[in-house]
Structure 1
Amino acid sequence: MSHMAERAEHLWGGWGDPANAMALPPSIQSLLGVLNTAPAPATPLADLRPAPSRVDPGPLRDIVGAAHVHTDDATRLRRSGGKSTPDLLRQRAGEVSSAPDVVVCPSTHDEVQALLTFCSSARLAVVPHGGGTSVVGGLSPQADRYAGVVAIDLWRLNSLVDLDPVSRIATLSAGMRAPDAETILNQQGFTLGHFPQSFEYATIGGFAATRSSGQASAGYGRFDAMVVALTVATPAGSLTVGRAPASAAGPDLRQLFLGSEGTLGIITSVTVRLRPLPPETTYHGWSFPTFDEGLDAVRALAQDGPLPTVLRLSDELESTLQYSTDGALLIVATPHPHPHPLPGATGLGPEIGEKWLRGRYSGPYLRDALLDAGAFVETLETAAFWSRLPQLYRAVRDAFGDTFLLLCHISHVYETGASLYFTAVGPMISPAHWSEVKAAVSDAILANGGTISHHHGVGTDHRDWYVREVGELAIDTLRAAKRRLDPHGILNPGVLIPLP
């Protein structure tokens, strides 16, 4: 047995680096008094013991070396789920039945391919592991019918494979964390411009596998729009898809793997388009009297321009609780020091924009503090066409009822529509109770023209609503592709694609 300590790990039962833990702001502390919360102690990781491993590590060691095969309790437990609030509550309660039997860390595409070939022949389920930041059950396969579960952690695939400054493209290994990729590219004068809230821990391969969208998507686009090519290992063999900037040579097979969430193959490298690193970006705040008025202004910018790099509109409650402002707060980022004036808005200057910038990765740490204090907090998101957004916004609020305080913002816009991102805060409830609430909200999303996920993905949590959204024929088409690429169904079984 060996313990994997080569890379900084997430806090057990929480998010990120414990050194970055934050105290609750006064406005939130007063809110907790209204909610009548009561702290509950969490079970320490050191006190937990998963079931004994069912997998012989010998053949895996032959592929990647003994130092990179891990069966110790801590390493297995840290890969027993993602970072949704129900995941964290189960971890805090000491529920560890989802721990994989073994964690394997390959360093090359060929090693990943060899691992998949072996696991398929041995009927071992495989969970691809990048940053571990899934919030939709994407790391919780239904693996009861398999001989064991192998977590393939890609952290050793962490290099810049190639940089083409003339074409402005780069090939990055899939296990590279986003900050490392950004640092390397910045040194060459480029940026991806992809900064989701999970930025500090998420990986390049994870961005592709989940169709990630970053906080600067208005200016840089979604991650799937950045992808030029992919290299993928599957139990049936390897593929490289994407050959030119555009092609009419049949369907675009990149789209088969973008958003596939580890069910059709393991992405081992991603070729992405780059943008020149801007000399500076300025952030400003604007206030609208109401969320509806702000929504109209955001739509005008998305459709008619000028489109800023960041465009983020909070509703009235989120604006009050998070930023102590009246009305609906709009954060705008541009590469120009003087932002374009916005009709109907009151300019608040750069200070509030800079405040948002400093705290844009702090949301999960605030959730930890709320959980520590005994409150329940969780997020969900959707997207719809502009004409449906007001109705969808109201329908989701109605579906939540009066139990939760509900905050909302728009942070991803398109000419045709935008996303809605909700944060629910309330008294502590169980993961099972939350599942009931989320089911009602998910029903409302589909009934009112929304998609079940804009950027969090499907996982297991959204799978049933995904089937309803796309239809059985679409699911059967995906199953057919999975049968060809993954004949024994070992890749993330039950995630995204329902088991037959």
Structure 2
Amino acid sequence: MTPKVLRWLAERIGTPGASASVVPDAALEVPSSSLPRRTRAGLAAVVGAEHVLVDPAERLGRCGGLSYLDLLRRRRPELGLTVPDAVVLPADPDQVQRVLDVCVEGDIGVVPFGGGTSVVGGVTALRGDKEAVIVLDLARLDRLVSLDPDSRVAVLQAGVRGPEAERMLGDRGFTLGHVPQSFERATIGGFAATRSAGQASSGYGRFEDMVVGVRLATPRGEWRLGVAPASAAGPDLRQLAVGSEGTLGVLTEVAVRVRPAPAAERYEAFALDGWQRGTSAVRELAQRGLLADVTRLSDPDETDSSLALAGGWKTALLRRYLRGRGIGEPCLLVLGWHGASAREIARRRRAAIRVLRPEGAVALGAAVGEAWRRGRFAGPRQRDALLDLGVCVETLETATYWSRLDELRDRVRAALRDSLDHPLVLCHVSHAYETGASLYFTVLAVRDEADPAGQWERAKRAASEAIADGSLGTITHHHAVGTDHAPYLRAEIGDLGADVLAAARRAVDPTGILNPGKLV
């Protein structure tokens, strides 16, 4: 972390009082495995003894996700780590099913694990009422099973990570086009289990839009869904499986719609004066069907922070230039187009600019857009450095209709500012629709070393209550439910909806071994 960044932090949130680095595994107290000997032998018979791991380091490596609280517990282990009793690595879908069969017999909890990128407690190894809990790591399910170029459908095993999926599809001239912030680590199964939304969702769709079929292992046997591009054969049960977060079965294969890899791409940035003009421009693009594949609008605070951190004489010139063009409160809009040719992109760009011009947008050029693209995966690494410095830094997200967007943003910002001491609250729109948009908040504050976990828990609770109050927005747009959002799900789907989900869970998992404590 550079001195310039430290000065910037101190000016905005104050000076952190203490640093905290990750505690080495050897210094942590890990409880002995409670996995019964008979169950361990049964699992070893399925996957091989070398793929049933009870070593403390292996168990610690899958004891949670990547939320602020997860990372904080690795720095402050006295806050409590939830460590599984074993890590099991099956090699194929059949082994996954047989592992579940063994766990049903022994009444052992099972937490499906892909890239471990959950930020809402979705992979915490809770055991519920079970004697023991295993993490079912799908890393060995890493194959491209098939590709149908005529139908543009690929079947990928659930453990395939985002970059590897793109590599395998790219070798055959196709792309999935799903690139969330967690892209470098997250998996196909995780994308489906959490209803993930990638940065290019305006062009390629959310992940549930891409799923055409699923294969799951469940405590009652294997379940396959999806035989045609569309069907009227009752409710779409694929969408019950997608977003089920490992509570209705373990996804082992996912059939997805793919598209030809783009031959050309262009990223460009614009500045608009104020949040109202910015969101008006994005709404017009969405409702006219002119969104770029990547459409990202930063609010004035996030834009100011980006410019301040960039620094230098070029940034100073840019600020003066924008003031001269009547942009007093800049909002940065990044647009990224993917297409079959530069000519196609130029046509789409011209149509978008015809919408942006009446909103007073000022073009900043391709260099700023490309700079955003190059740094778009830097957030998690920057967060680790900030945590080491003693900063409370976390994100949360929601979505609502256009008519409620400003009220929702104001309520969440007020809740966070009221519950934290001098926080910096940044916001952007990263997913837009004809009817509404997402809001993604980044929060930084000096960490309360006396009660670091409680500090964020109170802030997150205040923000979540602001969202849930009057159903102003969804409790989660793409981070999923996990444990963090479970208390607010009933307010969104109703008591009857919660009963429907609970009934579905009982139907596939009568003894409740799948991902205890999650979703419902």
Shorter-chain TM-score: what band?
Answer: over 0.9
Q: Does 1:192 align with 2:176?
A: yes
Q: How does 1:92-491 map to 2 (within 5 A)?
A: 92-95=75-78, 97-324=81-308, 327-335=330-338, 336=342, 338=346, 339-340=349-350, 341=353, 342-343=356-357, 344-401=360-417, 403=421, 404-429=423-448, 430-447=452-469, 449-491=472-514
What SS class does the counterpart of residue 401 from structure 1 fall into? helix
Shift of residue 26, structure 1, vs aligned partner: 2.4
Shift of residue 25, structure 1, vs aligned partner: 7.6
**What is the identity, as a one-letter code, of the residue corresponding to 2:387?**
L
**What is the identity, as a one-letter code, of the residue corresponding to 1:248?**
A
Q: How does 1:13-32 map to 2 (within 5 A)?
A: 23-24=1-2, 26-27=4-5, 29-32=7-10
**What is the identity, as a one-letter code, of the residue corresponding to 1:348?**
L
- CA 1:162 to 1:86, structure 2 compared with 1: closer, same or farther past 3 Å? same
Q: Is the 8 Å Cα contact of residues 126 and 133 (structure 2) preserved in structure 1?
A: no
- CA 1:379 to 1:191, structure 2 compared with 1: closer, same or farther past 3 Å? same
Q: Percent identity?
A: 51
Q: Does 1:53 align with 2:38?
A: no
Shift of residue 206, structure 1, vs aligned partner: 0.3
What is the CA–CA distance in structure 1 between the aligned matches of 2:84 and 2:27, rounded to whole Å?
Answer: 18
Which residue matches 1:7? none
Q: Which moved further from structure 2: 290-299 or 400-409?
A: 400-409
What SS class does the counterpart of residue 267 from structure 1 fall into? strand
Shift of residue 356, structure 1, vs aligned partner: 0.5
What is the CA–CA distance in structure 1 between the aligned matches of 2:237 and 2:3, rounded to whole Å?
Answer: 47
What SS class does the counterpart of residue 77 from structure 2 fall into? coil
- CA 1:188 to 1:290, structure 2 compared with 1: closer, same or farther past 3 Å? same
What is the CA–CA distance in structure 2 between the aligned matches of 1:235 and 1:345, rounded to whole Å?
Answer: 55
Shift of residue 89, structure 1, vs aligned partner: 0.5
Question: Aligned Cα RMSD in Å?
Answer: 1.4
What is the CA–CA distance in structure 1 between the aligned matches of 2:366 and 2:442, rounded to whole Å?
Answer: 25
Q: Deviations over 1:420-457 (max 9, x none)?
A: 00000001031122111111111111225110000000
Q: Is the 8 Å Cα contact of residues 319 and 327 (structure 1) preserved in structure 2?
A: yes
What is the CA–CA distance in structure 2 between the aligned matches of 1:146 and 1:348, rounded to whole Å?
Answer: 57
Shift of residue 40, structure 1, vs aligned partner: 2.7
Q: Does 1:494 align with 2:517?
A: yes
What is the CA–CA distance in structure 1 between the aligned matches of 2:408 and 2:30, rounded to whole Å?
Answer: 42
TM-score by length of 2: 0.89
What SS class does the counterpart of residue 51 from structure 1 fall into? coil
What is the CA–CA distance in structure 1 between the aligned matches of 2:113 and 2:22, rounded to whole Å?
Answer: 25
Q: Deviations over 1:313-349 (max 9, x none)?
A: 0001111112446610000011346433221100000
Q: Which moved further from structure 2: 444-453 or 306-315?
A: 444-453
**What is the identity, as a one-letter code, of the residue corresponding to 2:432?**
V
What SS class does the counterpart of residue 283 from structure 1 fall into? strand
**What is the identity, as a one-letter code, of the residue corresponding to 1:31?**
L
What SS class does the counterpart of residue 334 from structure 1 fall into? strand
What is the CA–CA distance in structure 1 between the aligned matches of 2:381 and 2:91, rounded to whole Å?
Answer: 31
**What is the identity, as a one-letter code, of the residue corresponding to 2:105?**
S
Which residue matches 1:16? none
TM-score by length of 1: 0.93
What SS class does the counterpart of residue 140 from structure 1 fall into? coil
Shift of residue 49, structure 1, vs aligned partner: 3.0
What SS class does the counterpart of residue 427 from structure 2 fall into? strand
What is the CA–CA distance in structure 1 between the aligned matches of 2:280 and 2:374, rounded to whole Å?
Answer: 27
Number of matched residues? 475
